[in-house]
Amino acid sequence: MSTLASIPDSPPFVVRARLLTPLSDGGTMHEPDALVVVDDDGRIAWVGPAADQPEPLAAASAIDLRPLVVMPGLIDLHVHLPQLPNAGVGAGLELLTWLERHIFPLERAWVDRTVAERLAPAAFRAFAHAGTTTILAYGAVFAPSMDAAFEAAEAHGIRAILGKVMMDRATYDESIAPSTILERSLRESADLAARWHGAADGRLGYAVTPRFAVSCTADMLRESAALAASTGSWWQTHISEDHGEIAEVARLFPEAIDYLDVYDRAGGLGARTVLAHGVHLTDREVARLAETGTRLAHCPSSNLFLASGLMPLARYLEAGLVIGLGSDVAAGPELSMFSAMRVGAYVQNALRVVGGEERASLGPLDWLRMGTLEGARALGLDDVIGSIEVGKEADLIAVDPSLIAPVPGVTDDTPADLMSRLIFRAHPDMVRAAWVRGRLLEGPTTIAVV
Ligand code: GUN
Ligand code: ZN
């Protein structure tokens, strides 16, 4: 019998467990009795059936986590740290109304660094509890609060790419003269990128973060894209989320062909760019995204919560877009990526019913891939994380399948059935452990493993 104390908290270690992971070659590995060997540096040195263990690996030294299932840590490609306190509030409001009423007051509170100091560590624990080991997140417009958030991420151990929000039109920061916003926002973003991009041996990263075309001038969009390129940072913003927002962008940028063209003219498209939502993209926009390799963060829970629309995921995938999943808290009510997968699957079903969508919907293992390896690919980190394969860093979670059984004793023999129940019967406490680079994260309600 193993107990709480036996959950390994730092590398090196060997765990024995049921294993489920997408593979880089397109397949899935499901192994009821597997070993995962994590080396001194927190990398995966060996993975495979316990029966095939290589010599001189001592099976006796393996920590037996069965019946837990070890999977790759989940990747949240779009989330807003200051917004967590209002998660679950404001369903059905139009985006621009919801931002004014429920969101800008919360972000304004980050003018005080101590608010971020209190909230960010709790947020990172909550991500780990949900099984999320990598986030691409927005902060607020205030630079000191971003330092606090990065410091908290550094201490917690989560893999985090964060960005100070940039807004030089319709901002909530009343302390700053409009004529100086652009210059100051660029300077602060550059300073943050210099301090944090690549910090903690590459576990932390910077994303230059103009909020969206409604709150940024063409100058801000262009200069921010140039800053991302010159610092090697990511560039993230929102696109085509709801109809009111799209109409406002058309009004503000009459010279642009469509919403995406606003970002294209700014030099913002490419493989280091992650655009959130894209619910209502035209065929031209989809083709241009594919052509430029620009990434999309699909946030299905958010899109239903704010009644933004049903994103035609299958059409976008067919066009060759690289798409990961985002919780988009607080427009998405829950941090859990299992929850995002569930809502995403329901949206695809709804599109079949009401939209006449004839393309095949994704299966449970496709959703697993999107929440892990595709998220990693969207970040250009698929050679580092996203699956449990030799040479990758050990960003792992251990999930308890007993909590999702419909009645005690029911087990899922096939990987698709297991993943299906993790998605459609997700339990808030089912993630028992989460590791980044083999280091256990504080957050999951770790219990004794019997
Ligand atoms: N568009 C611009 N800002 C936001 C935000 O904070 N949340 C969402 N869902 N959409 C946005
Ligand atoms: Zn968002």
* Distance in angstroms (rounded) separating the CA atoms of residues 333 and 88: 4
Q: Which of 77, 80, 108 to mutate to test the pocket of ligand 1 (most atoms within 8 A of CB)?
A: 80
Q: Which of 76, 103, 259 to mutate to test the pocket of ligand 1 (most atoms within 8 A of CB)?
A: 103
* Distance in angstroms (rounded) separating the CA atoms of residues 444 and 450: 17
> Which ligand is nearest the CA of 276, by number?
2
pLDDT score for 232: 98
- As a dihedral over the C-alpha atoms of residue 78, residue 80, residue 83, residue 89, rounded to 10 degrees, the angle is -10
Digit-coded pLDDT (tens) for 278-295 = 999 999 999 999 999 999
Gap from CA of 371 to ligand 1 centroid (Å):
21
Digit-coded pLDDT (tens) for 8-49 = 999 999 999 999 999 999 999 999 999 999 999 999 999 999
Gap from CA of 252 to ligand 2 centroid (Å):
20
Ligand 1 nearest atom to the CA of residue 328, by list position: 9
Gap from CA of 30 to ligand 2 centroid (Å):
34
The mean pLDDT of 378-382, rounded to a whole number, is: 98
* Distance in angstroms (rounded) separating the CA atoms of residues 190 and 227: 7
Ligand 1 nearest atom to the CA of residue 138, by list position: 6
Sign of CA dihedral 113, 114, 119, 125: positive
Digit-coded pLDDT (tens) for 301-333 = 999 999 999 999 999 999 999 999 999 999 999
Structure tokens at 55: 């010599």
Select from 254, 278, 305 the least CA-distant residue to 95.
Answer: 305
List ligand 1's pocket residues with C-beta within 6 A: 80, 95, 99, 103, 211-212, 238, 241, 302, 328, 331
Whether 59 has a pLDDT exceeding 70, the answer reads no
Gap from CA of 284 to ligand 2 centroid (Å):
23
pLDDT score for 361: 81
> Which ligand is nearest the CA of 106, by number?
1
What's the number of CA atoms in the CB half-sphere (13 Å) around residue 353?
7
Select from 179, 145, 176, 182 the least CA-distant residue to 162.
Answer: 145
Structure tokens at 414: 């096939």
Ligand 1 nearest atom to the CA of residue 95, by list position: 10
pTM of the shown model: 0.97
Select from 313, 286, 288, 308 the least CA-distant residue to 369.
Answer: 313
Sign of CA dihedral 184, 189, 190, 196: positive
Cα three-residue angle 255-261-262, rounded to 5 degrees = 70
What letter does residue 215 receive in the DSSP assignment? G
Contact 331, 302 (CB under 8 A): yes
* Distance in angstroms (rounded) separating the CA atoms of residues 280 and 277: 9
Select from 427, 431, 413, 323 the least CA-distant residue to 367.
Answer: 323
pLDDT score for 12: 95
Looking at ligand 1, which residue's alpha carbon is closest to its atom 5?
99
Gap from CA of 337 to ligand 1 centroid (Å):
18
Looking at ligand 1, which residue's alpha carbon is closest to its atom 11?
238
List CB contacts of 366: < 8 A, sequence separation 6 or more. none
The dihedral region occupied by 338, where left means phi > 0, alpha psi between -120 and 50, and beta the remainder, is alpha
The mean pLDDT of 219-244, rounded to a whole number, is: 98
Gap from CA of 138 to ligand 1 centroid (Å):
10
* Distance in angstroms (rounded) separating the CA atoms of residues 86 and 12: 39
* Distance in angstroms (rounded) separating the CA atoms of residues 248 and 246: 5
Q: Which of 212, 252, 301, 308 to mutate to test the pocket of ligand 1 (most atoms within 8 A of CB)?
A: 212
Average per-residue pLDDT in the chain? Answer: 94
DSSP strand E in 131-179: where?
132-138, 159-163, 165-166
What letter does residue 257 receive in the DSSP assignment? S
Gap from CA of 377 to ligand 1 centroid (Å):
23
Cα of first residue to Cα of last residue in the chain, in angstroms, is 5
CA of 40: how far to CAs of 50, 131, 136, 258, in Å? 20, 23, 27, 50
Looking at ligand 1, which residue's alpha carbon is closest to its atom 1?
238
In this structure, of 122-131, 385-394, 436-445, the range with the lowest mean pLDDT score is: 436-445
* Distance in angstroms (rounded) separating the CA atoms of residues 313 and 347: 9
Q: Residues with beta carbon < 5 A to ion ligand 2?
A: 276, 328
Q: Which of 99, 110, 248 to mutate to test the pocket of ligand 1 (most atoms within 8 A of CB)?
A: 99
3-state helix, strand, coil in the chain (%, to 5): 40, 20, 35
* Distance in angstroms (rounded) separating the CA atoms of residues 229 and 221: 12
Q: What does the chain come to in residues?
A: 450
> Which ligand is nearest the CA of 99, by number?
1
Gap from CA of 37 to ligand 1 centroid (Å):
41
What letter does residue 164 receive in the DSSP assignment? -
Longest dimension (CA), the chain: 68
Gap from CA of 311 to ligand 1 centroid (Å):
16
